[in-house]
Structure 1
Amino acid sequence: MRAIPIPVDTAKLTFTCVKDPRPRLLNQHTGEVKTDKNGQTVYEVVTSVEDDFGRIELVKIGISGEPPVTRGQQINPVGLIGYPWEQTRDGEVRWGIAYRASALLPAEEGANA
């Protein structure tokens, strides 16, 4: 599967941070933290996303550098992009979409961005 970036239109979605940002681990056994190509730590932010119809999903969003958001805060992802992925482990195929944003801002600040 080729990872073609998919831009996400966030205009009709409400994002709420449900867990404080934490560094993303490459290896849970060694505690190795993921970094981007510039050497910045990649953080993972778990959000609840609600659409205009009231449907809610939990979505993890990756971002370089620690974002200025906390649990319970409404946030605005800037430049949100989805990347499809697929892997085979022990003969079982798994797939999904990984999300990444260029910035995660508190909703008050994001409205002015």
Structure 2
Amino acid sequence: MRTIPIPVDTHRLRFTCVKAARPRVIDQDSGKIKTDKDGNKVYESVLLAEDDFGRIELVKVGTSGEPPIAPGQNVVPTGMVGYVWEIPQNGASRWGISYKASSIVPVSGVPGGGDLA
């Protein structure tokens, strides 16, 4: 499967950090941490995404470097893209979408900051 980034329009969504960023472990046995092409650690943050209709999704969003966010903060992911993935398993396949952002900052850290709604 070819990996093509799918841009995510975050302007009509509100994001809240629900779990602090943690380094992404790619091998549980060795504890190896995922790094980007520049050698920076990749961190995963769990965010609650809510649209104008009140629909809510929990999403894990990866970033290069640790984002300056904490649980409970309203945040803004910038440059967010999704990647479709698929893994064959026992004759069937599992698939999903993983998310990556160039940065995740508190709403107060956004130029013009304040409410996104």
| Fold match (TM-score > 0.5) | yes
Q: Aligned pair in 2 of structure 1 residues 48, 91: CA closer, same or farther (>3 Å)?
A: same
1:30 deviation in Å? Answer: 1.4
1:110 deviation in Å? Answer: 2.3
* SS of the residue 1:108 aligns to: helix
Structure 2 CA distance for aligned equivalents of residues 6 and 18 of structure 1: 24
After TM superposition, the structure 1 = structure 2 runs for residues 54-93 of structure 1, keeping only pairs within 5 Å, are: 54-93=54-93
* SS of the residue 1:18 aligns to: strand
Structure 1 CA distance for aligned equivalents of residues 102 and 15 of structure 2: 15
Q: Which runs of 5+ in 2 are unaligned?
A: none
* SS of the residue 2:20 aligns to: coil
1:4 deviation in Å? Answer: 1.4
Structure 2 CA distance for aligned equivalents of residues 36 and 98 of structure 1: 15
Structure 2 CA distance for aligned equivalents of residues 76 and 9 of structure 1: 11
Q: Does 1:104 align with 2:104?
A: yes
Output one character per residue of 1:1-25: Cα deviation in whole Å (capped at 9) or x when no partner: 3221110111110001100100000
Q: TM-score, normalised by structure 2?
A: 0.92
Identical-residue share of aligned pairs (%): 56
| Runs of at least 4 residues off by over 4 Å | none
The alignment of Structure 1 onto Structure 2 pairs a total of residues equal to 113
Structure 2 CA distance for aligned equivalents of residues 111 and 9 of structure 1: 18
Q: TM-score, normalised by structure 1?
A: 0.95
